[in-house]
Amino acid sequence: MTRPPNDPPPFDNPTLVAARADLVRELRRFLPEDAVLIHEEEVRPYECDGLSAYRQLPLLVVLPRTVEEVQRVLRLCHARGVPVVARGAGTGLSGGALPAPDGVLLSLARFTRILDVDPLARTARVQPGVRNLAISEAVRPHGLYYAPDPSSQIACTIGGNVAENSGGVHCLKYGLTVHNVLAIRIVTMDGEILELGGQALDSPGYDLLALFIGSEGLLGVTVEVTVRLLPIPERAQALLAAYDDVTTAAQAVGDIIAAGFIPAGLEMMDGPAIQAAEDFVHAGYPTDAAAILLCELDGTNREVSEQLAAVRDLLLAGGATEVRTARDEAERQRFWQGRKAAFPAIGRCSPDYYCMDGTIPRRRLPEVLRRTAELSDEYGLRVANVFHAGDGNMHPLILYDANQPDELARAEELGGRILELCVAVGGTITGEHGVGIEKLPQMCVQFSPEELSQFAAIKTAFDPEGLLNPGKGIPTPRRCSEYRQLPNRPSPVSSPAP
């Protein structure tokens, strides 16, 4: 990955300073004082998202409160040709919310209202800045919840979830954001409002809702989201299975699915991840295991009891050294706490880490883990593995020290190799974290030039001037042809033939 230089703040560039002064004057005509941030210390918190190796100060930050204010901001920027980057909570991991040095950072942080809950239709209409977990908290009195649960769910917003098509532990059974959002209201770069989707199973016209979800802020700004809610299952129960080696654990994942079970969650952690999580949150994990599986079953009491017994037998027959059922709700929560805290836990073991997000066909798990271990040796960098095993979504965490010369560059190269390995076995370069600025080179490996130019045409159909979140998501043809000419690069392949 070629990193863009961490540019000096725009405050030193006379052209940008003039452009900014003009823009600020216009913005203040319709935005209150506290909704336009221009001082370096005010805009500093917006310089990066969760991919903190990349930092860039924006020209300025706006914090509108109403949809009309968002429209006016976008119309103004559209008229002036000023780039706009929208931002939720900034928990994204692929640099999708990295500001443009000559652009406006549009924060949706003030859109925090839950507008409407319809317990009969099982829907909630919320503003984009509402936190993922806040939705489930608000609808709990109705016995409902919102299923997609990214690890960052305590902080990340539904608007950001829409941008990234976020998943989480539960998405194996309940789907990604795209499967749990019924409708969104967006503002296009020229300030128009579009309603995408609706409550019906299908709608006429092109399916712009699915197109928009996961489009990483390149097509429009989400200003309202209608989510589908699910009844809280009567019972949820978690199993923890320990293994002497990673391959046997990976094999068990396939066994469970092949036997017809769709667990509410099916997660895997390898030795380094287990150790780190255990040291951090004391989840009660067996620290001598080479791998553990966490398997959650939910449904009616009877369903869960039956499945629990069957899955337990299957895991023991498949080589688990130990299978533990959470004794009570507190222990179930602890099992998951370890998993959800795995990233920060690993963060404590190493000065820095780099979290990857590839997806592979489940049956290739053992092979990809072996190859990842070989690459880890080759690059001399430790890799811990935490992943949504059930749907083949891997999160290898590469440990490095940014203070060592070239360690970041080596980590990034190793990360790129792992993603290209995912493509080679028929997988994809991102499961749920998006492309952002991080995976632009790998997009050139995942897609053919024809496919990439079709993506570019879609972008043009929404944002002809390319002002929304420029430089993210879709690589330029030039960037791809340069990347493909680098030594040792794989030749471009089309999406995996099914």
In degrees, rounded to 5, the angle at the alpha carbon of residue 302 between the alpha carbons of residues 298 and 304 is: 30
Question: Any contact of residue 497 with its own copies (CB under 8 A)?
Answer: yes
Cβ atoms of residues 103 and 85 within 8 Å: yes
Cβ atoms of residues 281 and 345 within 8 Å: yes
**Strand 181-187, strand 193-197: pairing:** antiparallel
* Beta-ladder partners of 241: 293, 323
Subset of residues 384 to 403 that bind its own copies, contact rule: CB under 8 A: 391-393
Q: In whole angstroms, what is the distance from residue 403 CA to residue 53 CA?
A: 12
By beta-carbon proximity to its own copies, the closer residue of 379 and 447 is 447
CB atoms within 10 A of CB 18: 10
Subset of residues 104 to 133 that bind its own copies, contact rule: CB under 8 A: 120-121, 123, 125
Q: What is the DSSP code string of 176-212? A: -GGGTEEEEEEE-TTS-EEEEE-SSSS-SS--HHHHH
Task: Tell the smallest beta-carbon distance from residue 448 to its own copies (Å).
Answer: 8
Six-digit token pair at 104? Answer: 């406006």
Q: In whole angstroms, what is the distance from residue 33 CA to residue 444 CA?
A: 44
Phi, psi of 323 (to 5 degrees): -130, 125
Six-digit token pair at 64? Answer: 């509108």
Subset of residues 182 to 201 that bind its own copies, contact rule: CB under 8 A: 182-183, 188, 192-201
Subset of residues 224 to 253 that bind its own copies, contact rule: CB under 8 A: 226, 231
Six-digit token pair at 114? Answer: 């839950």
Subset of residues 57 to 86 that bind its own copies, contact rule: CB under 8 A: none
By beta-carbon proximity to its own copies, the closer residue of 81 and 449 is 449
Task: Tell the smallest beta-carbon distance from residue 242 to its own copies (Å).
Answer: 26
Among 9, 101, 466, 496, binds its own copies (CB under 8 A): 496
Subset of residues 298 to 327 that bind its own copies, contact rule: CB under 8 A: 303
Three-class SS state of 12:
helix
Query: Which part of the chain contacts its own copies (CB under 8 A), choosing from 50-58, 96-104, 264-272, 356-364?
Result: 356-364
By beta-carbon proximity to its own copies, the closer residue of 404 and 448 is 448
By beta-carbon proximity to its own copies, the closer residue of 107 and 446 is 446
Subset of residues 463 to 492 that bind its own copies, contact rule: CB under 8 A: 473-474
Say which residue the tokens 């392949």 belong to. Answer: 493
Subset of residues 138 to 177 that bind its own copies, contact rule: CB under 8 A: 165, 167, 171-172, 175-176
Three-class SS state of 21:
helix
Among 20, 37, 432, 492, binds its own copies (CB under 8 A): 432
By beta-carbon proximity to its own copies, the closer residue of 121 and 154 is 121
Binding mask 8-47 for its own copies (x = CB under 8 A): ----------------------------------------
Among 454, 465, 477, 481, binds its own copies (CB under 8 A): 454
Among 136, 153, 180, 215, binds its own copies (CB under 8 A): 215
- At 183, which amino acid appears? A
Residues in the chain: 498
By beta-carbon proximity to its own copies, the closer residue of 107 and 428 is 428
Question: Any contact of residue 205 with its own copies (CB under 8 A)?
Answer: yes
By beta-carbon proximity to its own copies, the closer residue of 417 and 459 is 459
Among 78, 395, 439, 472, binds its own copies (CB under 8 A): 439
Q: In whole angstroms, what is the distance from residue 122 CA to residue 468 CA?
A: 33
Q: At what angle do helices 365-379 and 407-424 cross, to 10 degrees?
A: 160
Task: Tell the smallest beta-carbon distance from residue 498 to its own copies (Å).
Answer: 4
Question: Any contact of residue 202 with its own copies (CB under 8 A)?
Answer: yes
Helix (H) or strand (E) holding 366: helix 365-379
Task: Tell the smallest beta-carbon distance from residue 276 to its own copies (Å).
Answer: 26
Helix (H) or strand (E) holding 294: strand 291-299
